[in-house]
Amino acid sequence: MNRVNKIRQEKTHVSNPENDPVQVFCRLRPPKANEESTCRLLSPTTLAFTTTDSKITRKEIHYKFRHIFTSFATQNEVFKYVAYPLLEDLLKGKNALLFTYGVTGSGKTHTLTGDHHNPGIMPKCIHTIFNSISAFQAPKCMIKSDKMNGFEVQSQRDAKQDEMDLLKASSRTAKKNRKDKTYVNDGTKIIDINESTLYSVFVSYFEIYNNKVYDLLDENCGTRQGKILREDSNKKMYVNAVVETEVKSAEEAFELFNLGQKRKKTGNTVLNSVSSRSHSILNIRVVQLPQGCPRDLLISQLSLVDLAGSERTNRTQNTGQLLKEASQINNSLMSLRTCLDNLRENQTTGANRLVPYRSSRLTLLFKNYFEGEGRIEMIVCVNPSAADFEENLQVMKFAESAQDVKVARSESKFTSSGSCPKTVTLAQIPKINLRDEALAALEQLSDALKTRFETIKHLGSFLDEEARFRKRLVDVEQENVWGKSELETTKVLFRKERQKFSNVKAKLADAEARAEDSQLKIREYQDKIASLRNVVARKNLKIKNTNVQDVLMRGRQRELKEQNVVETPKQQTRRYVGTPCPSRRRSRSAESTEV
Ligand SMILES: Nc1ncnc2c1ncn2[C@@H]1O[C@H](COP(=O)(O)OP(=O)(O)OP(=O)(O)O)[C@@H](O)[C@H]1O
C-alpha cells in the first residue's frame, strides 16, 4: 500500500449513521487513611474535583461519565454494569474493546484482574463465558486457527490427531503449572444464547512494552522477540504469529493467564510496588459454528486491556530503565489521546484531520475498533489523593474527549458467505395460527427438529469417535506398561552380562601379570645359564693346561734319565712347582684373554 493510500485510509472517519459513543466509566479508589479526598460525587454520573492545596483558590471542576463507581463499589457491580453487556454481544458474534485508564496506582489492575478471592472483570468474563456455553462446546481442535487471523473447520481425524498431540505436550508441561490458583466462580451466565451453535473459545495474551509487542504465552519468550502487527485479508489488525490457544474451561484459560502474568513486565516504583510497565492485552475470541452450515463461522473478539499508568517523572523520581519505560508509556498514551482527539474533531466539526494510528503499536492494534469493528468501553480509575490531583485532571480531560467519539455500531458477520441453508432455531419459529398457518408452522417446526436431530447425530458421531479415541489411548497405555516391563527385564540381563564381562576382564589382567613374571624369570635363567657356561669353559681350559705340564714334566724326566742325571727330590719339586716355564706363562695369558 503506498503512502498516499495509507494516509487516506487513516483519515477516513466513521460515516455509518448507526453510531455508538465510546462509553466511559469512572471508578474511585478508596483514599488512604488520614488522606483527604479531592473528589466529591454530585450524582451517579457527575464527579467534582477540588484542590486541597490551601495556596490555590478552591475551584470545583465537574466531569460527567456514563456511570461513576464509588470507592464502596464491589468488583461484581463493576463487572455487571460494564462488562456483562459486552459478553452478551460477544456471544452474539460482536466485538468489544474494554480498557482501564488512569494514573499509576489508581486501581486499573485491581479493576481488571483483581485477586483470586476478589476477582476483577477478566476472571469474571471467563467464568461467565464458560458458565454459558459449557453445554454447547465444539469438540476440541475441531476449529483451528489458520494463523492469518482466521479459523477453519478440521476433519474429525485431523482434530483427533491434534488433540492427541496436545495431550502429549500438555502432560509434559502439566507439572509446571499445577500450583496456580484459580478465581472464585459465582456462577453468572448469559441466558439468551444460540443453542443451535457449537462454540470454541481461544485466548491470546501479549504486552506492548517500550512500543514492541511481546507474546506472553510464547514458550520461547525467553528470547523476547518482538512480534509484528499485520493486516489480514479483511483489513483487520492482528499480532502476527501470536500464540492463540483453544481453552475448554475457565481453569484452562486461567492457567494460561497466570503463565503470562509471570512473564509480564512489572516494576517497583515510588507510587506502586507492582506497577505495570507495559500495556497488557488479553484477547478472548469466540468462534461459533452454526449447525447445518458447518463452513460458515461467526468470529467475535473481546479485548481486555490493562494500560500502564500515566506518570509524571518528577513525581515518580524514576531514573534509568524506569524513566525510559515511563517515557514510552506516556508516548503511547499520548498517541491514544491524539487519535481520539482527531477522531472527535473529524466527527464533530467535519474536519479531515489525520488520525495517527501508526504512531504507536497500541493505537495501530486497536485501529479497527475505532473504525467501527466493535464497541469501545473505558474505565477511568481515580486515586482521589491530593498528590494525584494534577494528573487526574489530565486523565479527566482525556476521558471527556473520548466520550465524544462515536464509533459505528458493529454487526455480527460470518466469515464466509456460504451457500448452506439458513438454520432455523426453535426460538425463531412463529406462534402457530391454528387456522391458516398451522401447516407452515408445523413444517418449520419439523425443519427445526430435523436440524436439531442432525446436530445430535453430528455430536453422537463425535462422541463415538471420542470413545474410540479413548479406547486407543487405553491400548497405547497398556502397550506402554508392557514396554516398560520388557525394558526392566532387559536392563537386569544387561546388568548381569556387564558383571560377567568385568569378571573376565579381571581374569585377563591377572593372567597378563603372571605372563610378565614368567618372562622375567626366563630372562634370569638364561643369564644364569650363560654364566655357568663361562665357568665350564674356564674349568676346561685349566684341565687342558694341567695336562700339558704333566707331559712336559715327563719329557724332562726322560731327558734327565738319558743324561743319567739324578735329581734330588727337592730339585724335582722346585722344577715342578717353581718358576713356570714360558709355555705355561703363555697359556695363562691366553686363558685370561679367552675369558
Ligand atoms: N477499588 C479498590 N479497592 C481496594 N483496593 C484498591 C482499589 N483500587 C486499587 N486498590 C489497591 O491499590 C493498589 C494499586 O492498585 P493497582 O495495582 O490496581 O494500580 P494500577 O493503576 O494498576 O497501577 P499501575 O499503573 O502502576 O500498574 C493495589 O494494592 C490495589 O489492591
What pLDDT is attached to residue 9?
A: 38
One DSSP character per residue, 492-517 reads: HHHHHHHHHHHHHHHHHHHHHHHHHH
Which residue has the CA at smallest separation from atom 1 of ligand 1? 29
Considering the domain architecture, whether residues 379 and 484 belong to the same structural domain is answered as: no
What pLDDT is attached to residue 538?
A: 92
What pLDDT is attached to residue 270?
A: 47
CA distances (Å), origin 453, targets 281, 446, 546:
40, 10, 138
Does 29 sit in the ligand 1 pocket, CB within 6 Å?
Answer: yes
What pLDDT is attached to residue 445?
A: 79
Considering the domain architecture, whether residues 396 and 499 belong to the same structural domain is answered as: no
Does 113 sit in the ligand 1 pocket, CB within 6 Å?
Answer: no
Q: Is 191 within the bounds of a domain?
A: yes
What pLDDT is attached to residue 324?
A: 63
First to last CA, the chain: 113
CA distances (Å), origin 261, targets 15, 75, 274:
39, 20, 12
How far apart are alpha carbons 228 and 240 in whole angstroms? 6
CATH code of the domain in which 119 resides: 3.40.850.10
What pLDDT is attached to residue 572?
A: 64
**182 C-alpha to center of ligand 1: Å?**
20
What pLDDT is attached to residue 173?
A: 61
How far apart are alpha carbons 105 and 397 in whole angstroms? 19
Considering the domain architecture, whether residues 466 and 514 belong to the same structural domain is answered as: yes
Q: Is 455 within the bounds of a domain?
A: yes
Considering the domain architecture, whether residues 292 and 345 belong to the same structural domain is answered as: yes
What pLDDT is attached to residue 265?
A: 65
Q: Is 580 within the bounds of a domain?
A: yes
In terms of residue numbers, what domain contains 370?
Answer: 3-408
What pLDDT is attached to residue 266?
A: 59
Neighbouring C-beta atoms of residue 399, cutoff 10 Å:
25
Check: CB of residue 455 under 8 Å from CB of residue 196.
yes
Check: CB of residue 357 under 8 Å from CB of residue 338.
no
Q: Is 400 within the bounds of a domain?
A: yes
| Residues belonging to the chain | 595
Neighbouring C-beta atoms of residue 182, cutoff 10 Å:
16
> Block means of pLDDT (10 residues each) for the chain, length 595 residues?
38 54 94 83 91 67 93 95 95 94 90 93 97 92 88 85 83 58 89 89 92 86 78 90 93 91 66 66 93 77 89 55 63 85 87 89 91 91 88 88 84 55 42 57 76 76 78 83 87 92 94 94 94 94 88 86 76 58 48 41
Q: Which three cell numbers stand for residue 537?
A: 669353559
Considering the domain architecture, whether residues 172 and 297 belong to the same structural domain is answered as: yes
Considering the domain architecture, whether residues 148 and 20 belong to the same structural domain is answered as: yes
Considering the domain architecture, whether residues 392 and 446 belong to the same structural domain is answered as: no
Considering the domain architecture, whether residues 402 and 444 belong to the same structural domain is answered as: no
Q: Is 418 within the bounds of a domain?
A: no
b/e string for 550-563 if b means 16 or more Cβ within 10 A? Answer: eeeeeeeeeeeeee
Q: Is 432 within the bounds of a domain?
A: no
Considering the domain architecture, whether residues 38 and 95 belong to the same structural domain is answered as: yes
3-state helix, strand, coil in the chain (%, to 5): 50, 20, 30
How far apart are alpha carbons 482 and 477 in whole angstroms? 9
**108 C-alpha to center of ligand 1: Å?**
6
Neighbouring C-beta atoms of residue 410, cutoff 10 Å:
21
Question: Which residues sit in the known binding site for ATP?
Answer: 102-109
**372 C-alpha to center of ligand 1: Å?**
31
Considering the domain architecture, whether residues 178 and 50 belong to the same structural domain is answered as: yes
Q: Is 420 within the bounds of a domain?
A: no
Helix, strand counts (H, E) of the chain: 15, 20
Considering the domain architecture, whether residues 255 and 368 belong to the same structural domain is answered as: yes
pTM tops 0.80: no
Does 381 sit in the ligand 1 pocket, CB within 6 Å?
Answer: yes
Domain end marker among 408, 427, 459: 408
Domain total in the chain:
2
What pLDDT is attached to residue 166?
A: 83
Considering the domain architecture, whether residues 543 and 473 belong to the same structural domain is answered as: yes
**29 C-alpha to center of ligand 1: Å?**
8
Does 273 sit in the ligand 1 pocket, CB within 6 Å?
Answer: no
Does 108 sit in the ligand 1 pocket, CB within 6 Å?
Answer: yes
Q: Is 230 within the bounds of a domain?
A: yes
What pLDDT is attached to residue 58?
A: 66
